[in-house]
Amino acid sequence: MPTEFRNEPFTDFNKEENAQAMRAALEKVKSELGREYPLVIGGERINTDAKLDSINPANRTQVVGRFQKATKELANRAVESAYETFQTWRNTGAAERAEFLFKSAAILRERKHELSAWMIHEVAKTWAEADGDTAEAIDFLEFYGREMLRYAEGQPLVKLEGEDNRMDYVPLGVVAVIPPWNFPLAIMAGMTAAAFVTGNTVVLKPSSDAPTIAYKFFEVLEEAGLPAGVVNFMTGSGAEVGDVVVDHPKTRFIAFTGSKEIGLRINERAAKVHEGQIWIKRVVAEMGGKDAIIVADDANLDDAATGVVQAAFGFQGQKCSACSRAIIDASVYDEMLEKIAERTEKIKTGDPTDGATNMSAVINEKAFKTINGYIEKGKSEGGRVLAGGGSDGEQGFFIEPTVIADVKPGATIEQEEIFGPVLAIIKADDYDDALKIANDTQYGLTGAVYSADEAKLERARREFHVGNLYLNRKCTGALVGVHPFGGFNMSGTDSKAGGRDYLLLFMQAKVSAEKVGATSKLAEKRAAI
């Protein structure tokens, strides 16, 4: 029986031995850049004529990995292979399935810096952000393994004399796992592990911006001994092959994390019943956010300013939980602007392989252009650039951490998800007004309130409509098991990844009722004849 779950500790890179270990990992990964990786369907390695390259956002001339573009035929084959494997994998015991998660977690723990180094190169995470991502991946594996063992235990039912009743959780079937690029190890590993530990099989289609990390995790699963075909690895265009997997009649469940637009599209396509389909497909969609931190008039302003800046610019603001709006009480507005600007200007933007870097490049050229467009839009709608505002796309996709003050409620950058290092600051008349502004959005993922007044904090618990609310701390940094994560409204299905309810989404309950003694009495009667 495994020990009680504990979160994986973060690495202290102030210790020279840890910094040296990371530098060594970065050199090892650098020597492996540019390799070609196959599709893997039913254990078979497959190459195609068409390729896609994963590019380092901080060094746009550097190819991190070369991947195959799957065809529609191969996408169909991946689902069929997963369906065939499901017929046997579904009968594998829960303890055996959980053991694959524990073995994989142990491998990740041994190679923690190496996996982090891949993220530093492929998605331009800083050392700390990459280390946190790897730690979270380990947490998901350890937590979901233990959760599967809990669900496999006898479930409590009301007793009925004369009957032996049981409720078992059984798997669904083939799960299409479509993870994001921003947490390319943690979220991808968590969704994949949740799918197969519950007895399902998987078609894993990683983001084209982060396929190398996904393949490295796939290799970890193979090393842990996971049977061929339980997880199938497929790269390619979402429109080309993603739709095929979502639409396939043998696909039972789609687990998606990404943008609102794609999530809604998947949900719509999954609702259509195709010929040969005998179930209603289940969809779990974790989508975007327009997260706000409210700073009340009685808040500790230094703590609040630090929390706002950390939540706004960690990983270049490319988190669905990132603080993209700071809503500040008018009585402390000017003072908070100074503190936020001062902290923002101290952020060191640059090469993510440098341990001193605080922020690096955004994910790709499309994001670079879109984010710059939002900065210009913010200015044209009356916003005042308080810090940053500049960009340089020559070597990599670098955008300065940008603070735009005097943003009006309802303005474009106050309403639309930017997914980049842009913070909109809004002045609120009072706490009532702040809550109204915070809730005036189609999203409802994370939020935070800084206040010394317990009554205000309690009111936020009741009225601030988000899935994850933080009080007197930043709105990013959810820990597995501690802060089950998922949001309301257009932020998704509130599936609470890393929580005790999550694995239920990948299973269905089956009840069996047996009349006690009926079989033995029938046997006695037959024997007497």
96 is catalytic: no
Within a domain: residue 193?
Answer: yes
Q: Say how many CA atoms lie within 13 Å of 87 toward its Cβ.
A: 6
Residue 528 pLDDT grade (very low, low, confident, very high; cuts 50, 70, 90):
low
Residue 521 pLDDT grade (very low, low, confident, very high; cuts 50, 70, 90):
low
Strand 39-41's sheet: what is its strand order? 44-46, 39-41, 231-233, 201-204, 174-178, 251-257, 282-286
**pLDDT digit string, tens, across residues 167-180:** 999 999 999 999 99
Structure tokens at 375: 């900065």
Within a domain: residue 2?
Answer: no
What are the respective helix, strand and coil percentages of the chain, to the nearest 5?
A: 40, 20, 35
Within a domain: residue 516?
Answer: no
Within a domain: residue 422?
Answer: yes
Residue 439 pLDDT grade (very low, low, confident, very high; cuts 50, 70, 90):
very high
The pTM (predicted TM-score) of the whole model is: 0.96
Crossing angle between the packed helical segments 186-197 and 94-110, to the nearest 10 degrees: 160
Within a domain: residue 528?
Answer: no
> Mean pLDDT across the stretch 363-369?
98
Residue in 8, 129, 147, 320 annotated catalytic: 320
Cβ contact 230:42 at 8 Å: no
Do 88 and 37 sit in the same domain of this protein? yes
**pLDDT digit string, tens, across residues 310-364:** 999 999 999 999 999 999 999 999 999 999 999 999 999 999 999 999 999 999 9
Tell me the CATH number at 66. 3.40.605.10
For residue 238, the model assigns a pLDDT of 86
Do 263 and 307 sit in the same domain of this protein? no
Do 101 and 235 sit in the same domain of this protein? yes
Within a domain: residue 174?
Answer: yes
Do 271 and 297 sit in the same domain of this protein? no
For residue 246, the model assigns a pLDDT of 98
Do 308 and 386 sit in the same domain of this protein? yes
Within a domain: residue 308?
Answer: yes
Of all residues in the chain, the percent with pLDDT exceeding 70 is: 98
320 is catalytic: yes
Cβ contact 345:387 at 8 Å: yes
Do 267 and 362 sit in the same domain of this protein? no
Do 310 and 423 sit in the same domain of this protein? yes
> Mean pLDDT across the stretch 76-95?
98
Within a domain: residue 40?
Answer: yes
DSSP 242: I
Do 107 and 227 sit in the same domain of this protein? yes
pLDDT at 526 over 70: no
Q: CA dihedral defined by 517, 520, 521, 526, rounded to 10 degrees?
A: 160
pLDDT at 522 over 60: no
Do 257 and 296 sit in the same domain of this protein? no
> Mean pLDDT across the stretch 511-517?
93
Residue 523 pLDDT grade (very low, low, confident, very high; cuts 50, 70, 90):
very low
Identify which of 388, 466, 479, 373 has the alpha carbon closest to the alpha carbon of residue 425.
Answer: 388
pLDDT at 377 over 60: yes
* Residue 47 phi, psi dihedral angles, 5° rounding: -110, 150
Q: 427 Cβ partners below 8 Å, 6+ apart? A: 328, 330, 333, 406
pLDDT at 218 over 60: yes
Do 364 and 266 sit in the same domain of this protein? no
User: 3-state SS of 461-486?
Assistant: HHHCCCCEEEECCCCCCCCCCCCCEC
Crossing angle between the packed helical segments 211-223 and 112-122, to the nearest 10 degrees: 160
* Residue 468 phi, psi dihedral angles, 5° rounding: -130, 110
Residue in 286, 400, 414, 417 annotated catalytic: 286
Residue 240 pLDDT grade (very low, low, confident, very high; cuts 50, 70, 90):
confident
Cβ contact 284:495 at 8 Å: yes
Tell me the three state secondary structure of residue 364: coil
Do 304 and 271 sit in the same domain of this protein? no
Residue 154 pLDDT grade (very low, low, confident, very high; cuts 50, 70, 90):
confident
Tell me the three state secondary structure of residue 323: strand
> Mean pLDDT across the stretch 85-91?
98
Cβ contact 252:202 at 8 Å: no
Residue matched to tokens 């952020």: 347
What is the C-alpha separation between 174 and 137, in angstroms, rounded? Answer: 22
**pLDDT digit string, tens, across residues 443-491:** 999 999 999 999 999 999 999 999 999 999 999 999 999 999 999 999 9
Do 158 and 282 sit in the same domain of this protein? yes
Q: Say how many CA atoms lie within 13 Å of 489 toward its Cβ.
A: 16
Structure tokens at 377: 């839009």
Tell me the CATH number at 356. 3.40.309.10
pLDDT at 8 over 60: yes
Task: Supply the range of the domain harboring residue 415.
Answer: 291-471
Cβ contact 379:413 at 8 Å: no
Of all residues in the chain, the percent with pLDDT exceeding 90 is: 96
Cβ contact 397:317 at 8 Å: no
Q: Total domain count for the chain? A: 2
Q: 270 Cβ partners below 8 Å, 6+ apart? A: 246, 254, 281, 283
Strand 488-489 and strand 174-178: the pairing is unpaired
Q: How far is CA 457 from CA 360, 443, 452, 460, in A?
A: 34, 21, 8, 5
